[in-house]
Copies of this chain bind each other. A is one copy, B any other.
Amino acid sequence: MTEVLLPQPSEGPGFVQLLTPEGQRVEHPDYALDISDDEIKSLYRDLVMVRRIDTEATALQRQGQLGLWASLLGQEAAQVGAGRALTERDFAFPTYREHGVAYCKGVDPVTLLGLFRGASQGGWDPNENGFGLYTIVIGSQTLHATGYAMGIQRDGGDGAAMAFFGDGATSQGDVNEAFVWAGSFNAPIVFFCQNNQWAISEPVERQSHIPLYRRAEGFGFPGVRVDGNDVLAVLAVTRAALARAREGSGPSLVEAYTYRMAPHTTSDDPSRYRLAADLETWKLKDPVERVKAYLSRHGVADASFFADVSAAADELAAHVRAACIEMADPEPLSLFDHVYAGGSSLLDEERAGMAAYLASFEGESPAAAKLNVGAH
């Protein structure tokens, strides 16, 4: 057998970094970023808030308040960088892990938790914040984003679409079809791939032996690899890609090179497939710490700033926790709501049947409930 898994070099020509892991600003010829210290402070704040939401959600899952949680730990810079590059005109199509983008887009984290709690399938209005529904079937949303971008071309809008997806997703037919379509129609879209090195237990080398950003070349548009743990670099690169899209120059692919520091989801056990040592290496590149280092080193922020941010994060976490725990279960009959915009005689009949059935118990609880049968 001749199969080989080559390690992908993380850096190399074109790897965009503007802030080193040590918190040092560096320049990149193609991606100058003119940014004030206040802006960097506000980015820092977002990073902290997003991490705090994530920690709280993980805790809520452990306590049985959520059925599942997909942590973004380690990917905060990638998501805040991209999320902050997006303007109101732009529309984001997320996977199930874009809590940081959701935050930047103004989506209440509690709404996201509804899905992981099992109280809804998402349920928010994508058009309210330009933030699409979480999409679990790997890659599907990249085609939605491409279609949306084709819609912008057709109604004369001036925004762009951004499709989020992971390294694993690059193997799906849908993602590659999205590349074909975006290229063919020169659609105003940015493909934003968070290469967090893992698709559950599979290393990115199972999907590709060459860096993922290079996939774009063969479809006729540019790809770039950016340090996904560097919020400044991600912001700069994503802004440039969005500007390109908005001005009619077509799609591009941004590969944010990062690391999934948590298990795939709370159901996962990464000790079965990866070394704890890798995690240590990546901790040195922590996306939040490096901004903190920059702010401290340059005297831009003092202890009180960090304390304020921390307090605000705790406050948000408390809100999230309280709202999550209070979240009511849906009514059984709500099963039938929103299947169709225009209703359906079949559903009307089924709903009536279920209502009559439920009514037949009249106070006395069904045997299944008593026996606790079927509840796992």
Binding site for B on A (CB under 8 A): 1-4, 153-154, 170-174, 176-177, 180, 183-186, 188, 206-210, 214-220, 223, 248, 250
Contact = CB atoms under 8 A, between A and B. Distances in A.
B216 A218 contact: yes
Contact of A154 (B1, B4, B186): B1
* Copies of the chain in the assembly: 2
A361 B319 CA distance: 79
A47 B3 CA distance: 38
Contacts of A154: 1
7 contacts: A2-B250, A3-B153, A171-B177, A173-B176, A210-B218, A210-B219, A218-B218
A214 B217 contact: yes
Contact of A207 (B174, B180, B216): B180
Contacts of A184: 171, 206-209
Given A1-B154, A183-B208, A216-B218, 6 more contacts: A1-B153, A2-B248, A173-B174, A180-B208, A184-B208, A214-B220
Nearest to A5: B184
Shortest beta-carbon contacts, A-B, top 5: A173-B173, A218-B218, A176-B176, A210-B220, A215-B218
Nearest to A210: B220
A90 B341 CA distance: 55
Contacts of A214: 217-218, 220
A3 B177 contact: no
Most buried by B among A173, A207, A210: A173
Contacts of A250: 2
Contact of A209 (B4, B153, B183, B223): B183
Nearest to A205: B184
